[in-house]
Amino acid sequence: MNAIFDNIFNSPYINEFTATQFLLLVICGLLVGLLITAFYTYRNEYSQGFVITLALVPAIVSIVILTVSDNIGTGIAVAGAFSLVRFRSIPGTAKEIGAIFMAMGAGLLNGVGYVGYAVLFTLIMGTAYVVYNRLDLGRTKDRREHQVLNISIPEDLDFSKEFDDILEEYTSSFRLTRVKTTNMGSMFRLTYDIVPRDPVKQKDMIDKIRCRNGNLEVSVSDIRDDMATL
């Protein structure tokens, strides 16, 4: 049992490595990436591009750490910056960033030769992820469906209480959460957090809002925990 968790290089500071050790790290990194991907895709929305990237990150991080193993601090810095390049242009959700960091952790363990610990870490964290999802950890106790209502209005419209009567009629609760200028400052976009009384009457609510905002854009979307960006 102890042999499973031994360092394949007998030291985290690797002066030289063989082709067999190199291939072992790559293969184990890919297997760990597939494990992490399997856990991440459980009861979760995802894109194919992100899933493929997530599956490759542990192997990539392992090789980065292997090639700069004489300076672990430099390796961690390089691997961290490299694995988060995706989030420079596309906002990452909390779950995506968490999955990336989990893949990085497994890749770091694998890269310094602790293959057994990398697999064990992946199994523990992946199991915790599945259990937390099953328990709906962090989900509000109020099971009513919250939604986001976006209303575009002209800049000369006083929006302070313009739509309150409509929202009181069609929602159980509503709250103005954001006001933003759009279209070079010629319009405002109002964002409300609402709880509809009857989803069937959503069109009636939108039609009444359009009569007030000059038939400008109105949108309603669901609030989902996994869309909270960092």
Strand partners, 191: 150, 178
pLDDT category at 70 given cuts 50, 70, 90 is low
CA contacts within 13 A on the Cβ side of 167: 21
pTM above 0.75, yes or no: no
148-190 pLDDT tens trace? 999 999 988 888 888 999 999 999 989 999 999 988 888 999 9
Q: For the residues of 76-127, what is the DSSP string, one character each?
A: HHHHHHHHTGGGGTSPPBHHHHHHHHHHHHHHHHHHTT-HHHHHHHHHHHHH
Q: Quick one: how far is CA 176 from the chain centroid?
A: 25
Domains of the chain with CATH codes: 2-134 (no CATH), 147-223 (3.30.70.380)
29-67 pLDDT tens trace? 999 999 999 999 887 878 888 889 889 989 988 887 777
Question: 128-164 burial string, b = 16+ CB within 10 Å, else e?
Answer: ebeeeeeeeeeeeeeeeeebbbebbbeeebebeeebe
DSSP alpha helices (H): ranges in the chain? 19-40, 48-67, 72-83, 94-111, 115-134, 164-170, 202-212
In one-letter notation, the amino acid at residue 44 is N
